[in-house]
Amino acid sequence: MSSNGTRRIVLTGAAGGIGTMTRPLLAKLYPGLILSDKVKPRNLLPGETFVKADLTRPDQVAALLAGADSVIHLGGFSVEGPWKTILNANIIGCYNLFEAARQAGVKRVIFASSNHAVGFYPRKRKIGTDVTVRPDSRYGVSKAFGEALGALYSDKHGMTVTCIRIGNVGPRPLDVRRLSIWISPEDLVQLFRIGLEHPRIRYEILYGASDNAASWWDNSRARALGYRPKGKGEDHRAHAEAEQKKIGRDPIGDRFQGGTFATAEFTNDVKRAGP
């Protein structure tokens, strides 16, 4: 898969955590990235262009995507929040993004989905990408919505859409749960490249995880598309276990893949939750 510096690639949410970690890697592969967020990212690299845009404003999103070939959509609210916040940033904003992309003739969209779209699956069960969504939060619901919207725009309008259910991005796993869902920035960029370049994608859901021995996810579809993760969560087990001791036990969250997202506001009998 070869990069092409002449393509206009837009990266939303460029000032956020994942955007900040992946931008330097993307800049080497795709010179001339168009960065977007509500606030300007620090340390713009040579060739990067910043376009301020609020996803809840269709006119601003349309202006951002004019002439774009591809979009890596990281923008939105990245954790659980009040319904109004999630609705505006992650549902209305996501719709505006896909609709503006359709109108602009954008060929490929990579949607940053989340493990929280399936967070109520038990940790003892390994799941593929074809399971029924079981969100653990309003945030998780918004990511399931984005996956469904991506399927609609792919099937109805011929857009190439790759949804990545991202685990936890960073230099190393932060606790025992993240040993199962961790992904290095380098491996995530590898998945971005597949979404931007692979010729046979129409609509895909992939898991954003490195080569983790403790993984709860079957990511064979990503591997079939050429994904070869280099990071290994197990290399960081001692650090993760030491950090876990500081956190302590969570009788609800420790059962489910979504962790504390499943625990928050939980009023059910734990035995009745999840599939």
Q: What is the CATH number of the domain that holds 156?
A: 3.40.50.720
The answer, as to whether pTM is greater than 0.75, is yes
For residue 72, pLDDT beyond 60: yes
Average pLDDT, the chain: 96
Is 95 assigned a catalytic role? no
Query: Strand (E) positions, the chain?
Result: 9-12, 34-37, 49-52, 70-73, 108-114, 160-166, 168-169, 182-183, 203-208
Q: Is residue 275 part of a domain?
A: no
User: Which is more confident, 43 or 14?
Assistant: 14
Query: If pLDDT is split at 50, 70 and 90, which confidence band does 3 have?
Result: very low
- Rounded Cα–Cα distance for residues 106 and 100 (Å): 9
Q: Give the per-residue pLDDT at 176.
A: 95
Tally of structural domains, the chain? 1
> β-strands 70-73, 9-12: how paired?
parallel
Q: Is residue 182 part of a domain?
A: yes
Residue 4 has a CB neighbour count (10 Å cut-off) of: 13
Q: Is residue 208 part of a domain?
A: yes
Q: Is residue 201 part of a domain?
A: yes
Give the model confidence (pLDDT) of 228-273 as tens digits: 999 999 999 999 999 999 998 999 999 999 999 999 999 999 999 9
Q: Is residue 1 part of a domain?
A: no
Q: Give the per-residue pLDDT at 230.
A: 98
For residue 204, pLDDT beyond 50: yes
Give the model confidence (pLDDT) of 140-177 as tens digits: 999 999 999 999 999 999 999 999 999 999 999 999 99
Q: Give the per-residue pLDDT at 1.
A: 42
Q: Is residue 139 part of a domain?
A: yes
Give the model confidence (pLDDT) of 116-135 as tens digits: 999 999 999 999 999 999 99
Q: Give the per-residue pLDDT at 2.
A: 40
User: Looking at the DSSP assignment, which residues form a beta bridge with residue 269?
Assistant: none
Catalytic: which of 30, 121, 139, 227?
Answer: 139
Q: Give the per-residue pLDDT at 43.
A: 87
Q: Give the per-residue pLDDT at 154.
A: 98
Q: How far is CA 124 from CA 56, 232, 249, 256, in A?
A: 39, 20, 17, 8
The domain of 214 spans 9-270
